[in-house]
Chain A
């Protein structure tokens, strides 16, 4: 099974680090992974995106024109990437700050109120982990155990006390998917 995912949003929303955690989790399951960020001027202009591919087999292109899963966390990203979900694929977005909701009917669309949830948890930094939880619920590309193991491996020890908070946020994100 190969999953081709793009995560796009504002810089600072944790788009790149969420992709990194996903890639680490794939590594924990001994899968092939590729993490390809947009590193150019668009990153400096406010929007950021990262392509993450997790596969049982060797991965060819790190650059794609269609995705199994698109996670779009602002209006520009939604406008740009809604059309790039493969038919039958998944689109995850957060309605917060969105003026034009997605319109496609040939894909599975999930509105995840992660911003509201992170405010409720009084921790805006949990935002990307809530989204990750939602992803794991609708598309279990890696297990929760692998994510936690990946966090442990990738974070320096002085940040390990934050892992339970991240786990909570992931579980919250899973709950948000009805």
Chain B
């Protein structure tokens, strides 16, 4: 079959990918800079073709609880929002994680805190990777840096979510959401039949059958001894994810003297800074964590150990740098360059920051 190549915004690619990967339902509430997700779904009318449900809920709190309900029935379900909306969803996310349910949540970050600005940001790194909601939980966090990855990570996110029975998040920013690039769309994956759902999700609450007991989906367990066992099971899953699912990409690290760590769109802007630096004879390499949780500690540590210094570039005041410093553990100088409130640095601003903070002539 001929590949289907389209020119699309990142947000539009998310929506198309959701349909193509056989989503059963999308629940969401519009917010800039990701409103095109809901707009595209409404324009595509997948309920006429695949039978996918697309519903604008009355708020983000409703959206995430609709996701919770659909996930409990073994459905392939997603929601999307931007920073303030994700804050509203954090309670529901904790419940979904505690109920060991697969779901996909997309955050196209904007500048905060508060209602903030509609411009790009990466200031929700802590919220995404360290919790957000209450309790000892994690979910898989994927950080796309291209429109193609926006598309691909929808499928990857669901695959991982179902494999480990945990929510997965796509943590994007306004740049990746709003820019248009070439994207190869996947072929249409059929939605699962009820019989297939019963097979692959034996835990799903979709009506009791004579051959098994009642499936109960809940995050509540008043017996502390049992709740500790539950928590140990969650933690065992997290250790498995950490062992198996770390993803990253490197650029120019074969011969570099210095290292930049950056994720999402900023990794690409940093790559341009590296291209400029190499013209001046300064060899910088980049590692781009693709999974922010689990974080690529080992690879960051390995690459940092052969570098003279590490610059962490983020659209925040210094969040991922904490994970980089944990990985590096004081063996190399690690500095931060961040822009705040929706400002995106240009490649030469990144290079200037590198020269000021890291480079030794």
- A associates with B: yes
Chain A residues in the interface with B (C-beta under 8 A): 20, 23-24, 27, 32-37, 39-41, 59-66, 154
B179–A33 touching, CB < 8 Å: no
* Minimum CB distance partner of A42 in chain B: B119
* Minimum CB distance partner of B119 in chain A: A40
Contacts of B181 in A (CB 8 A): 32-35, 59
In the complex the two chains form, what is the Cα distance from A59 to B271 in whole Å? Answer: 10
* Minimum CB distance partner of A4 in chain B: B272
Contacts of B269 in A (CB 8 A): 60-63
Asked if B180 CB lies within 8 Å of chain A CBs, one says yes
Query: Contacts A39-B33, A40-B119; is A33 near B182 (CB within 8 Å)?
Result: yes
Query: Contacts A20-B180, A27-B7; is A64 near B346 (CB within 8 Å)?
Result: yes
B182–A32 touching, CB < 8 Å: yes
Known A-B contacts: A60-B269, A61-B269, A63-B344. Give 9 more (CB < 8 A).
A20-B7, A33-B7, A33-B180, A34-B180, A37-B179, A60-B272, A61-B272, A63-B265, A63-B346
**Residues of chain B from 305 to 361 with CB closer than 8 A to chain A in the complex:** 342, 344-349
Contacts of A64 in B (CB 8 A): 272, 346-347
Most interface-central of B7, B342, B344 (chain A CB within 10 A)? B7
Query: Contacts A62-B175, A64-B272; is A40 near B118 (CB within 8 Å)?
Result: yes
* Minimum CB distance partner of B111 in chain A: A40
A35–B272 touching, CB < 8 Å: no
Query: Contacts A33-B182, A60-B275, A63-B344; is A40 near B7 (CB within 8 Å)?
Result: no
Query: Contacts A39-B174, A40-B118, A62-B265; is A23 near B271 (CB within 8 Å)?
Result: no
Interface size counted on chain B using CB atoms at 8 A: 28
User: From residue B274, how far is it (CB to closest CB) to chain A in Å?
Assistant: 8
Asked if B268 CB lies within 8 Å of chain A CBs, one says yes
Most interface-central of B174, B175, B180, B272 (chain A CB within 10 A)? B180
- B98-132 vs A, Cβ < 8 Å mask (1 yes, 0 no): 00000000000000000001110000000000000
Contacts of B118 in A (CB 8 A): 39-41
In the complex the two chains form, what is the Cα distance from A142 to B275 in whole Å? Answer: 25
B347–A65 touching, CB < 8 Å: yes
B7–A23 touching, CB < 8 Å: yes
B342's contact among A20, A33, A40, by CB below 8 Å, is which? A40
Chain B residues in the interface with A (C-beta under 8 A): 5, 7, 33, 117-119, 174-175, 178-182, 265, 268-273, 275, 342, 344-349
- 24 A-B interface contacts by CB (under 8 A): A32-B182, A33-B7, A34-B179, A34-B180, A36-B175, A36-B178, A36-B179, A40-B117, A40-B118, A40-B342, A59-B181, A60-B268, A60-B271, A60-B275, A61-B268, A61-B269, A61-B273, A61-B347, A63-B175, A63-B265, A63-B346, A65-B349, A66-B348, A154-B7
In the complex the two chains form, what is the Cα distance from A32 to B344 in whole Å? Answer: 23
Contacts of A61 in B (CB 8 A): 268-273, 347
Contacts of A60 in B (CB 8 A): 268-269, 271-272, 275
Contacts of B175 in A (CB 8 A): 36, 62-63
B347–A63 touching, CB < 8 Å: yes
In the complex the two chains form, what is the Cα distance from A140 to B338 in whole Å? Answer: 38
Contacts of A59 in B (CB 8 A): 181, 268
User: From residue A81, how far is it (CB to closest CB) to chain B in Å?
Assistant: 13
In the complex the two chains form, what is the Cα distance from A25 to B33 in whole Å? Answer: 26
In the complex the two chains form, what is the Cα distance from A120 to B272 in whole Å? Answer: 43
User: From residue B179, how far is it (CB to closest CB) to chain A in Å?
Assistant: 4
In the complex the two chains form, what is the Cα distance from A24 to B273 in whole Å? Answer: 27
In the complex the two chains form, what is the Cα distance from A59 to B348 in whole Å? Answer: 17
B344–A39 touching, CB < 8 Å: no
* Minimum CB distance partner of B8 in chain A: A35
In the complex the two chains form, what is the Cα distance from A24 to B271 in whole Å? Answer: 25
Contacts of B347 in A (CB 8 A): 61, 63-65
* Minimum CB distance partner of A61 in chain B: B272
Contacts of A36 in B (CB 8 A): 175, 178-180
In the complex the two chains form, what is the Cα distance from A23 to B5 in whole Å? Answer: 13
Contacts of B273 in A (CB 8 A): 61
A65's contact among B174, B270, B342, B346, by CB below 8 Å, is which? B346
Query: Contacts A23-B7, A40-B117, A63-B344; is A35 near B179 (CB within 8 Å)?
Result: yes
6 shortest interchain CB distances as A-B pairs: A61-B272, A65-B346, A35-B180, A60-B271, A61-B269, A36-B179
